[in-house]
Structure 1
Amino acid sequence: MSLDNSSRISDDLPQQVVAALRAVCGESSVALHAPRFKGNEWKYLRDSLDSTFVSSVGAYVDRFEADLAKYTGAKHAVAVVNGTAALHVALLLAGVQPGDEVLVPALTFVATANAVRYCDATPHFVDSNEATLGIDPDSLRDWLGRMTEQREGFCINRETGKIIRVLLPMHTFGHPCAMDALQAVASDFGLIVVEDAAESLGSWYGERHTGTIGRIGTLSFNGNKIITTGGGGAILTNDTALARRAKHLTTTAKLQHRWEYEHDEVGFNYRMPNLNAALGCAQLELMPEFLASKRRLYQRYREVFSGIAGLRLVGEPAHTQSNFWLQALLLDQVGAGQRDSILTATNDVGYMTRPAWRLLHQMMPYRNCPRASLAVAESLVQRLINIPSSADIA
């Protein structure tokens, strides 16, 4: 009898999800995550245009960096063209060398691994934790204990002979990783922590903002993030010397001079334009409202999904405060086989839903990279569904 009941629930699950989304989102088509402009965006953009400073020099770039530093509690913020550029430079600042390995979650957006490749280094994929969706510190410790050795102060992969230089946790969908435990693993194995906080502006691990816990952190302000600058990203650090070098590297490594063009190393044209920063200043002013709206949306979704067997709504991990950037459903074993049916049913009626990313070790550029057992990530990716999450839904 229980098997028949489970089968019935599973078969009905796509329409139950559609009905729940309709109760929250209404009848019209709804995007997965759309930007919201209702503050000083036009005013600041017009001011930037009137000033004629629209490129990588201008008052709004300086203001946006200062506002970000104040909001996150970081000592320094360096604004750049996008989150991937921020990650690339952050890894260079952390000392990643050609041939090194960087510990990366298999469950993340491809930019996390791409930035490692930009450094001529190799992503080394590790497993996730179901409670946080980020890197699992216990399985990581076990893996490193079995697969690495300490040699001259470096963590060495016994199989490849390469230095594992950096641990690169990503705060999935805005939910903070278990950073204290990950920091402890990094300390014990001689690793530098660089946080990919692209999705987690407005998220807190205890009293610390994500992106400020490791040595360096990065943010993204793409059009689908909790605030947007159109494109854009930022590097966060409490190290003044690193911040100075970040600004130098992202500004083509040009030495300051009234007229001479002198560059003392290979740099990158990664600085954020003033126009984008102007938009960011206005958006950041709206963060309290955005966060409140997203938390209301989470609570509304929790109400409508609580009575549906076969899934649960992903909540914030213990001792954290999530920005709830992307709301997510996690199917259990009853509903596990219905992921694609749910995606089809919801998109057919205009509710944009998406699976999590394809695991990175399954993608062509990364199939031959070193990896730990990825049992949890391989389970999660088959069961996660992102649902409409824009701040203006609730």
Structure 2
Amino acid sequence: MFDALIRFIREQYRSEGFIPLHAPVFAGREQAYVGDTIASTFVSSVGAYVDRFERDMAAYTGSPRAVATVNGTAALHMALQLVGVGFGDLVVTQPLTFVATCNAIAYCGAEPVFVDVERRTLGLCPRALETWLTENARLDDDGLCRAKADGRIIRACVPMHTFGHPADLDGLADVCRRWRLALVEDAAESLGSFYKGRHTGTLGEVGTLSFNGNKIITTGGGGMILAGEALGARAKHLTTTAKQPHPYEYVHDEVGYNYRLPNLNAALGCAQLEQLEAFIACKRELAARYAAHLAGSDLQFVVEPADCRSNYWLNAVICESGAQRDALLQATNGAEVMTRPIWALMNRLPIYAHCRKGDLSNAEWLEARVVNLPSSVILPAA
């Protein structure tokens, strides 16, 4: 049933062997920069490449500040703390996401609230958010958003840009503004994606990126906080163990975190970032070929939202049914072409099954039908 798709994928990757879902590509100055770091002996949390990676990322995204962290989850944990999320708070997010989104909320002692996604963007739906808040929340005399049921503060909203496709940020920002919620963008998957000309992660109070080994560029592990000058400076302080500058004394003025990205990893990131636009061009070309191949078939290819530029981090199709999804997964993986289902909804996990939720019809529909196809960068043949 899926033989034509399997042949098409093998033709794209020019391989009869195992084809991974998303593999890193090291085609630039990675070895030179990492070698330079080793030669300098500054391989840990201090070094010229950390500073450069932060500067280059701020310049690329248009963010006033960029603060490197050890991974994307640490970046999101820090971002939530920066906007005041604390013990007992509620944070609205989407159930269709990777578990790290919810884990970062839990690290703060807060609890996720699950609101439905849009089928169009796969991201948090502003209309569903408005509906849930109208039915379940109120603004108190101090302007705090509180749950009607028990008075707990609803502090923030965390949309995730699924597979690199931007969520409806205008709609979400409007709802968050009226309900006094901090908008924190989980842009882990969307480096290089733009919403109406602005980079994802720069439209809320804070945004975060990930450079895990499977992302569009990688530092091995790593993340980045995107913020304004004031919050960025505070993020840098807290992620470097809250140590006060001093030539030799150890003075820490509050509880901080050792969330620093090592210079060794930052060197890899600098080399990868130099190739980002070339990687995106290759990925967008691959997406266009997938879309053309699947046109007229019973698999719906997921395309970028209007007025957006997606990095097409992971290509995805929507199957007609759960049975077709299972058949596609079995056929492709059985042929050593790696495909993956979308994540199980977070509210189905035992650790988050007790959390509040709205109607999740779209998320449930997508969970049963979405499959990711191989999406590694294919460089032009030499």
Partner residue of 1:232? 222
CA contact (8 A) 1:24 1:300 kept: no
> Could you tell me which of 349, 353, 358 is aligned with 1:372?
358
Q: Secondary structure at the match of 2:124?
A: coil
Partner residue of 2:309? 321
| Deviation by residue 1:346-391 (Cα, 9 ceiling, x = unmatched) | 0111111000111000001000011111110001011100010000
The alpha-carbon deviation at position 161 of structure 1 amounts to: 1.9
CA–CA distance in structure 2, aligned partners of residues 105 and 154 of structure 1: 22
For 1:1-394, what aligned pairs fall within 5 Å after superposition?
Answer: 12=1, 14-26=2-14, 27-151=16-140, 152-238=142-228, 240-308=229-297, 310-332=298-320, 335-392=321-378
| Deviation by residue 1:298-336 (Cα, 9 ceiling, x = unmatched) | 01111211132x21110000110000000001113xx44
Q: Percent identity?
A: 54
| Deviation by residue 1:135-170 (Cα, 9 ceiling, x = unmatched) | 011111111111111112111111232111001010
CA–CA distance in structure 1, aligned partners of residues 35 and 10 of structure 2: 38
CA–CA distance in structure 2, aligned partners of residues 247 and 353 of structure 1: 38
CA–CA distance in structure 2, aligned partners of residues 176 and 361 of structure 1: 23
CA–CA distance in structure 2, aligned partners of residues 16 and 345 of structure 1: 11
The alpha-carbon deviation at position 18 of structure 1 amounts to: 2.7
Structure 1 gaps, min length 5: 1-11
Structure 2 gaps, min length 5: none
| Deviation by residue 1:273-299 (Cα, 9 ceiling, x = unmatched) | 000000000000001110010011001
CA contact (8 A) 1:23 1:304 kept: no
CA contact (8 A) 1:17 1:342 kept: no
CA–CA distance in structure 1, aligned partners of residues 326 and 32 of structure 2: 44
CA–CA distance in structure 1, aligned partners of residues 367 and 314 of structure 2: 15
Q: Secondary structure at the match of 2:185?
A: strand
The one-letter amino acid of 2:185's match is E
CA contact (8 A) 2:192 2:311 kept: yes
CA contact (8 A) 2:13 2:378 kept: no
The alpha-carbon deviation at position 16 of structure 1 amounts to: 4.5
CA–CA distance in structure 1, aligned partners of residues 236 and 205 of structure 2: 16
CA–CA distance in structure 1, aligned partners of residues 182 and 134 of structure 2: 17
Q: 1:160 to 1:355 in 2, by over 3 A?
A: farther
CA contact (8 A) 1:82 1:222 kept: yes
Instruction: Point out the more displaced range, 170-179 or 255-264.
Output: 255-264
Aligned residues: 378
| TM-score, normalised relative to structure 2 | 0.97
CA–CA distance in structure 2, aligned partners of residues 143 and 368 of structure 1: 17
CA contact (8 A) 2:280 2:311 kept: yes
| TM-score, normalised relative to structure 1 | 0.94
The one-letter amino acid of 1:168's match is V
The one-letter amino acid of 1:357's match is W
Q: Secondary structure at the match of 1:275?
A: helix
CA–CA distance in structure 2, aligned partners of residues 278 and 243 of structure 1: 21
CA contact (8 A) 1:20 1:305 kept: no
Q: Secondary structure at the match of 1:167?
A: strand
CA–CA distance in structure 2, aligned partners of residues 20 and 355 of structure 1: 20
CA–CA distance in structure 2, aligned partners of residues 158 and 49 of structure 1: 56
Instruction: Point out the more displaced range, 73-82 or 17-26.
Output: 17-26
Partner residue of 1:6? none
The one-letter amino acid of 2:39's match is D
CA–CA distance in structure 2, aligned partners of residues 139 and 42 of structure 1: 47
The one-letter amino acid of 1:224's match is N
CA contact (8 A) 1:24 1:301 kept: no
CA–CA distance in structure 2, aligned partners of residues 159 and 377 of structure 1: 25
The one-letter amino acid of 2:225's match is I
Q: Secondary structure at the match of 1:102?
A: strand
CA–CA distance in structure 2, aligned partners of residues 385 and 47 of structure 1: 41
CA–CA distance in structure 2, aligned partners of residues 354 and 186 of structure 1: 33
The alpha-carbon deviation at position 117 of structure 1 amounts to: 0.4
Q: Secondary structure at the match of 1:186?
A: helix
Q: Secondary structure at the match of 1:193?
A: strand
CA–CA distance in structure 1, aligned partners of residues 13 and 125 of structure 2: 34
| Deviation by residue 1:177-228 (Cα, 9 ceiling, x = unmatched) | 0000000000111101000000000000011000000010000000000000
